[in-house]
Amino acid sequence: MSAAEPLLEAADLHVWIEGSHILQGVSFSMPDRGVTALMGRNGVGKTTTVKALLGLVPRTGRVVFDGVDITTHPTYTIVSRGIGYVPEERGIFAALTVAENLRLAERHPKPRYELVHELFPELAARASQPAGTLSGGQQQMLAIGRSLLNDNKLLIVDEPTKGLAPRIVREVADAVARAAEQVPVLLVEQNLSLVRRVAGQAVVLDAGRVIHTGSALELLDDADRVRELLGVSRTVTDSSGTTAGAEGRRTA
Amino acid sequence: MMTDTDVAAKAPETTEPPVMKDVRARRRLPGWTAPVVLLAVALALPFSTLYVPGLFEGTLNSPPTLHLVAFCLVFGGLATSYDLLYGRVGLLSFGHALYFACGAYVAALLMRVLELPLLWSALIAVVGGTLLSLVLGAVSLRVNGIALAMVTLAFAQAGSILISRDPGRLTGGEEGLSLNTAMVPDSFVGVFNTVNLYWVALAYAVFAVGVVWWLTASPVGRVWQGIRANEQRVAVLGVNPYPYKLVAFTVGGGLASLGGVAYLLVTGGVTPVITTAEFTLTLLVMVALGGAGTRWGPLLGAVLYTYADHRLLQLGGSDAFAALPAWIAAPLSQPLFILGTLFVLMVFFFPGGLVALPGRVRSALRDRRTART
Amino acid sequence: MSTVVLLVITGLGLGALYFLIASGLSLIFGLMDVLNFAHGAFLAIGAYGTWWAADHLPGAGPAGFGFLVAVLFGVAAGTLAATLVELCIIRPLYGRHREQILATVGLSLAVPALIQAIWGADPLTFPKPELVRGAVGVLGVNIPKDRFLLILAAVAVFVALWLFNSRTRYGLIVRAGVQDRAMVTALGIDVRKSFTLVFAIGGAAAALAGALGGLYFGVVTPTQGLSLLIFAFIVVVIGGTTSLTGCAIASITVGLIQQFANYYTVAGLGDIAVVIVLALVLLTRQGGLTAKKSAERVA
C-alpha cells in the first residue's frame, strides 16, 4: 500500500436512530500513520461515527479500510481485518476476570502480553480478579490493553480519559501515546492537551457533519477557531461533562 | 384503513404520483363504511337461508353455522381485548387466559352454587374479573418486558392449577362445569335458540371492538401509542406511564372476563382448557396472524383461526381424509399442527399479519410497474 | 423424619429435572434474548424419541444398559431438532426478537400437535429400565432408584456445563455474550456461531429432561413439555441468566418448595407457592433479569 493511500476512508455516512438523523453525511479519511483526533462538542455524533465505521449501528454510505470496501461486512469481520476498539463505555465484561477479558480478545497466535503487562503492570497483578471490581481507571487500562493485544492496523479509542481522576488521565494518556508510536490511532477526545500531545490530524464534527479537517496543532493554536468549532476555551470545559471528566480536562 | 396508510407512508417517496393518486381516489370512502357494512352483514346473517358449499355445513342461518360464527365472534372480541395490551401498548402478557377464565368460571359457579340468575352472575363475574386484573396488573406492571410476561404467566398458571385441582369439588377439575340452564332464560337454551347465542356473541364482539377503538382514538390512546413506541421518552416528557398501562391492563382484563361470560353461554359450559398458558399463546397467535395493533387485525385473525380450527377438525374426521395415506392424514387431522406451522411461515413471510397483506401486495405490484417503466 | 428424607430426595429429583430444562433456557435467553417456547418441544422430542427407541431400536430397551442407548437416541433427536430450529428459523429472524419469540410460540403449538397426530394424546407408559427398578434404603426410607438417576444426570450436566463455561473458548464467548453481545462482535468474534451451539446444548439438556421426566412421571404425554416449561421459566427468572450456580440453586429451591408445600398443605398449593415466590422475587429485586432486558429489547 502506498503512503498516499488513506488507511481509513468514510464517505457520506448517514445514521438514523429511532427517527433521528444522527449522522448527516460524514466523510473523512485518515492517513496510515499517526493519530487522527475526532473532535466536537458533546452529542455531535463522534461516538456514532465510530460505531458506524465498525458496523455497530445501521448506516448508509461507504467505508473503506486498508484498501477494502468493508461497508457491507459484519462487525466481527471488520474488526478481524485488524482493528482494536476501545469503546466509550469501555466494554469490559464485569463478570469475567481480567485474564479472561484479555483472553477473549486474543485473535492472533502470539498475543502481545509482554507489551500489555509492561504498560499496565496492574493487569498482571489482578489477573484473576473479576473485572467488575476494578476501579474506573483500571477498567480503562484493561480496555486499552485488550486492544493492544493483537497486532492491529488501526486502533479506535473513544474518549479514553472521560470520567477519570487526574493521575489516571496521565497514565492513560501515556498509554495512548505509546500505542500511537506503533499503530495509527483514531482518537475521539475532548481533552485538548491529550490531543495536542499526540494528534497529527484533527477532524471536527458538528451536528452530524464534518466541519473542519486539518492539522491538530494549527487548530489548537488558534484560540478563536477552537472556541468557534469546539465551543470551549482552553481552560473551560463544556457544560455537560461529568464532574470527574471536567476535573480530568482541567488538568490539561 | 389504518394499515393501508401505514404501508403508504412506509413506501419509498420516489413512487410516481399518478399511481398514488389512483390509490387515494379509491380510498375516498368514509372511514365508517367498512364497519357499517360488516355489521349489516352480521346482523343479516341469521335471516339468510343462503347455502355456501364448502364454507359451512348448512345454510347460513342453520344452528351449526350460527354456532360456529358465534364462537368466532367471541374469540374475535377476546383477541381484540388481548391486542389492547399487546398491540396497542406493547405489553407482553402471558396471563390473559386468567381473566377470560375468571369471567366464565365465576359466572358458572354463581349460577350453579348460589343459584343466582344469569344477569347477576354475569355482572359479578365481570366486576370480579376487572378487579382481579386491576390488582394483578397493579402488581405485575411494576416490572417490564420479559419480566412482565413471566409474572403474568405465573399468576395465570396459579389460577390454572387452582381450577384444575378442583378445590372443594367446586370447579369440576378436568371435567369443568356445565352451564346451569335453570338460571338462564329459556331463550338461551337449546339448539333452536342458537340464534340468540349468536346475538350475544355479536354484541360482545361489537362492544369489545368498539371500546378498544374508542379508547385508542382518545387522548389515553395517544399516550399508549407513545408508550408502545418508546416508554422512556413518554416518561421524560413528564407523563407517568404506569397508570396508563394499568388502565389498558384493567380494561383488557374486564373485556376478557365479559368474553368469558359470553363463551360460557355459547358453549354451554367451561373446561380448564381455557385457563392454560397454551390458550393465551393461541390468543397471541390470533393477534399476530391478523396483525397486532391494527383496527381489524385481531378480529380477523381470531375469526379465521377459530374457523380454521373447527373446520380442520371436522375435515379430519371426514371420508375424504380416510382415503389419504396415514402419514399425511395424521398430521393434517391436528388443527394445531397446521395452524402452528402456518403461523411460523406467517411470521417469516408476512410479519405485519394478514391485514398488512393487501398493502404489501399493492406496493410490490407498484414496484414492479415502476421497474418496468 | 422419614417423610422429610423422602420429600427432600423427591424434591431434588424434580429440581434436577427443572435444572436440565432451565439451564438451556437461561443460556439461550441470556445470550440471544430469545424466550424459547420451543424448549418444551425439544423436551417432548427427547421423551418420545427415548420411548420409541426403547421399543424399536436394536440394542435399546429396558434390559441392562439398553435404556442408556434409548436415552442417547432421544437426546440425539432433541439436539438435532434444536440445531435445525436455530439454523432454519431463529437465525433468519436475527435481530427481530419479537418475531423470534412468536416463531417459537408457533413451534410450541405445532410440535406437540404433530406428536399427538403420530402417537395419540393419551399418556404412554414409559418403559422402566431394570437399572433403576426398585428402591434403595436411605436413612431407613425406601427411595425409588430413578430419583437418584435424575439427580446424577443433573449433576453430570452441571459439571459438563461448568467445564464448558470455564475451560473452553466457546464457553468464554457465551459468558461474555450474555453480558454484552455487541462488544463480543466488536472484538472480532462471530457470536452467531455460539447461538447455534447454545441451542444445541439447550436442546440436548431438554431432551435428556424429557427422557428422564418420562421415568420420573412414569408416562409421556405430548403436552408435558409446556407445563414443565412454565416452571423452568420461573427457575430462570429467579436464578437469573448470568450464572450456572444461580440456575442450579433456583431449580433445587423450586423443586423443594413444590414437594414440601404439596405434601404438608393441600395438593396444588405447592405449585402456587412457587408462583408466589416468583412474584416476590420479581417485585422486590430490581435488577438482574429485569434491569438488563428492557422492554425495548424484547417486546
- Domains (range + CATH), chain C: 2-296 (1.10.3470)
Distance CA C97, CA C88 (A): 15
Distance CA C220, CA B98 (A): 27
| Residue from C277, C255, C19, C230 nearest B161 by CA | C230
> Is B315 part of any domain?
no
Segment B246-293, tens digit of pLDDT: 999 999 999 999 999 999 999 888 888 899 888 998 898 899 888 888
Q: Give B220→chain C minimum CA distance, Å.
A: 20
Distance CA A157, CA A54 (A): 12
Enumerate the residues of chain C whose CB falls inside 8 A of the CB of residue A80. Answer: 188
pTM: 0.80
Segment C36-46, tens digit of pLDDT: 889 999 999 99
Structural domain total, chain A: 1
- pLDDT score of A137 more than 70: yes
| Chain A residue closest in CA terms to C185 | A76
**% residues pLDDT > 90 (chain C):** 25
- pLDDT score of A1 more than 60: no
Q: What is the mean pLDDT of residues B201-218?
A: 93
- pLDDT score of A197 more than 90: no
C-alpha cell at A50: 465510530
Segment B56-76, tens digit of pLDDT: 777 777 888 888 899 999 999
Q: Give C94→chain B minimum CA distance, Å.
A: 11
Whole domain around residue B287: which residue ranges? 59-293
Given a contact cutoff of 8 angstroms between Cβ atoms, the answer to whether C50 and C293 are in contact is no
Question: What pLDDT band is residue C201 in, cutting at 50, 70 and 90?
Answer: very high
C-alpha cell at B147: 419480566
Write the ipTM. Answer: 0.83
> Is A87 part of any domain?
yes
C189:A104 CB<8 A: yes
Segment B139-180, tens digit of pLDDT: 888 888 777 888 888 888 888 888 887 777 788 777 888 887
B128/C144: higher pLDDT: B128
Integer CA distances (angstroms), B309 to A90, B264, B286, in order: 53, 19, 11
Whole domain around residue A126: which residue ranges? 8-248
Interface test with A, best of C181, C187, C194, C294 (most A CBs within 10 A): C187
| Residue from C42, C39, C35 nearest C99 by CA | C35
Size of interface B-C (CB pairs under 8 A): 144
> Is B143 part of any domain?
yes
Mean pLDDT of chain C: 84
Segment C90-146, tens digit of pLDDT: 888 887 888 888 899 889 888 988 888 888 888 888 877 777 777 777 777 777 888
CA triple C98-C286-A244, angle to 5 deg = 100
Integer CA distances (angstroms), A82 to A8, A158, B331, C10, in order: 12, 17, 52, 55
> Is B172 part of any domain?
yes
B277:C226 CB<8 A: yes
Interface test with A, best of C168, C179, C183 (most A CBs within 10 A): C183
Given a contact cutoff of 8 angstroms between Cβ atoms, the answer to whether B315 and B321 are in contact is yes
Q: What is the mean pLDDT of residues A51-76?
A: 91
C-alpha cell at C240: 437469573
> Is A2 part of any domain?
no
Looking at the partner chain, which of A79, A96, A103 has a beta carbon nearest the beta carbon of C186?
A: A79
Mean pLDDT of chain B: 82
> Is A1 part of any domain?
no
Distance CA C13, CA C132 (A): 14
| Chain C residue closest in CA terms to A89 | C183
Contact partners for chain C, using 3 or more CB pairs closer than 8 A, are A, B
Handedness of CA B260, B263, B267, B268 (dihedral sign): positive
Give per-residue burial for B266-298: e unless 16+ CB within 10 Å, then b: bbebbbbebbbbbbbbbbbbbbbbbbbbbbbbb
Specify the pLDDT at position B371: 63
CA dihedral A100, A102, A106, A112 (to 10 degrees): -140
| Chain B residue closest in CA terms to C266 | B167
Distance CA C17, CA B159 (A): 23
B145:C298 CB<8 A: yes
Q: What is the mean pLDDT of residues A168-181?
A: 85
Specify the pLDDT at position A247: 36
| Residue from B345, B275, B299, B319 nearest B82 by CA | B299
Structural domain total, chain B: 1
Specify the pLDDT at position A129: 92
The region that residue A19 occupies, defined by phi over 0 for left and psi between -120 and 50 for alpha, beta otherwise, is: left
Specify the pLDDT at position A4: 60
Q: What is the mean pLDDT of residues C145-162?
A: 89
| Residue from A177, A209, A222 nearest A44 by CA | A209
Q: Which of A214-223, B218-227, C196-205 has the lowest mean pLDDT?
A: A214-223
Segment C222-238, tens digit of pLDDT: 888 887 888 888 888 88
Q: What is the CATH number of the domain that holds A57?
A: 3.40.50.300
Question: What pLDDT band is residue B127 in, cutting at 50, 70 and 90?
Answer: very high
| Chain C residue closest in CA terms to A99 | C172
C186:A56 CB<8 A: yes
> Is A59 part of any domain?
yes
- pLDDT score of A226 more than 70: yes
- pLDDT score of B14 more than 60: no
Measure CA of the first residue to CA of the last residue in chain C; give whole Å.
Answer: 48
What length does chain C have?
Answer: 299
Specify the pLDDT at position B26: 53
> Is A115 part of any domain?
yes
| Residue from A124, A147, A129 nearest A54 by CA | A147
Interface test with C, best of A48, A76, A90 (most C CBs within 10 A): A76
Looking at the partner chain, which of C185, C191, C242 has a beta carbon nearest the beta carbon of A95?
A: C242
> Is B346 part of any domain?
no
- pLDDT score of C257 more than 80: yes
CA triple B176-B177-B182, angle to 5 deg = 170
